[in-house]
Amino acid sequence: MRKKVTKAIFPVAGLGTRFLPATKSIPKEILTLVDRPLIQYAIDEAREAGITEFIFVTSRGKSALEDYFDHNPQLEQELRKKGKEDLLSTLKTTNMDSGAIAYIRQHKPMGLGHAVWCARRLIANEPFAVILPDDVISGDTPCLKQMVDAYAETGGNMVAAMEVPREKTSSYGVLDIAEENGPLVSVKGMVEKPKAEDSPSNLAVIGRYILTPNVLRNLNKQKSGSGGEIQLTDAISVEAQAGQNVYGYRFNGQRFDCGSKVGFLQATVAFALERDDLRDDLAAYLSEVSGYDKAAQ
């Protein structure tokens, strides 16, 4: 029987400079889409995929994240007193069972591969997931759940994959495709942030991974790559080149790049339009402002 994936790493050590000044005192992952922080979307997706152990790789200035997943007895008592059961149940989604969440510090920003490696002792010898909270993915079945289901058949290593315009490959890890089989793509290598002209394809890695502990062993070598950083892409590529199974999974769903302001705004609008309490007023406003836009042209 294949070992189930129950552990997930959330690399959340980044400074979030693109969102300064907000991120001067608030971790980027606490910025909210409508009324839920980015990290809540990532945690909910992980839970729906069967994850029960949550490992955060943090850095200085991220204590708001720890508080977010802690109980707040005073607030809970106040809400209970006022009979606000709906808000109490909303708060419940932020609570973690004792021991289900662990925080590891990445002392220096040395890249995504290094951040994942920092969690190696908590992963030990099991398959594990990695979720990048900047990549928010909406859809009927959460992206990681789709991947866990596919992984139950394939094993190996799997990354979420999505086509991007060729001129954008330099923002992504990109797959060197060996063979396609429906949503599953066998991969013979991966390149981090290649120039369009050097890119092996335009199928990009999106921030969801299911990985074997071998990838952590590859990261032990601490080899730096693109941008002088230790890249997760490179450590996975070593597996592919060694003939181990590495797959891209073309997920169903819409991905928002919440590491960029435009992506963040698009996600905010998309999630707000899904809400019964907000849809009508927001849609009316959007059609009003798009009308202005047309008049100005």
What are the residues binding ligand G1P (CB under 6 A)? 112, 132, 135, 172-173, 192, 204-207, 233, 259
Q: Which amino acid is at 113?
A: G
Least Cβ distance, residue 143 to ligand G1P (angstroms): 12
For ligand G1P, the closer of residues 26 and 131 by Cβ is 131
Strand duo 128-131 + 203-211: pairing: antiparallel
Q: How far is CA 278 from CA 38, 187, 242, in A?
A: 19, 42, 51
- CA nearest to 94, candidates 49, 29, 139: 29
Residue nearest to ligand G1P (CB): 173
Least Cβ distance, residue 10 to ligand G1P (angstroms): 13
CB 112 within 8 A of CB 14: no
- CA nearest to 277, candidates 90, 22, 46: 90
Least Cβ distance, residue 205 to ligand G1P (angstroms): 4
Least Cβ distance, residue 290 to ligand G1P (angstroms): 29
For ligand G1P, the closer of residues 76 and 257 by Cβ is 257
For ligand G1P, the closer of residues 5 and 130 by Cβ is 130
Rounded to whole angstroms, how far apart are CA atoms 87 and 137? 25
Q: Which amino acid is at 2?
A: R
Least Cβ distance, residue 232 to ligand G1P (angstroms): 6
For ligand G1P, the closer of residues 53 and 234 by Cβ is 234
For ligand G1P, the closer of residues 119 and 132 by Cβ is 132
For ligand G1P, the closer of residues 118 and 132 by Cβ is 132
Rounded to whole angstroms, how far apart are CA atoms 225 and 46? 29
Give the chain's end-to-end CA distance (angstroms, integer).
Answer: 62
Instruction: Give residues with Cβ within 8 angstroms of 214, minimum separation 6.
Output: 239, 244
For ligand G1P, the closer of residues 112 and 219 by Cβ is 112
Least Cβ distance, residue 170 to ligand G1P (angstroms): 10
Rounded to whole angstroms, how far apart are CA atoms 19 and 81? 37
Least Cβ distance, residue 132 to ligand G1P (angstroms): 5
- CA nearest to 121, candidates 9, 244, 245: 9
Rounded to whole angstroms, how far apart are CA atoms 194 and 171? 8
Least Cβ distance, residue 123 to ligand G1P (angstroms): 19
For ligand G1P, the closer of residues 79 and 230 by Cβ is 230
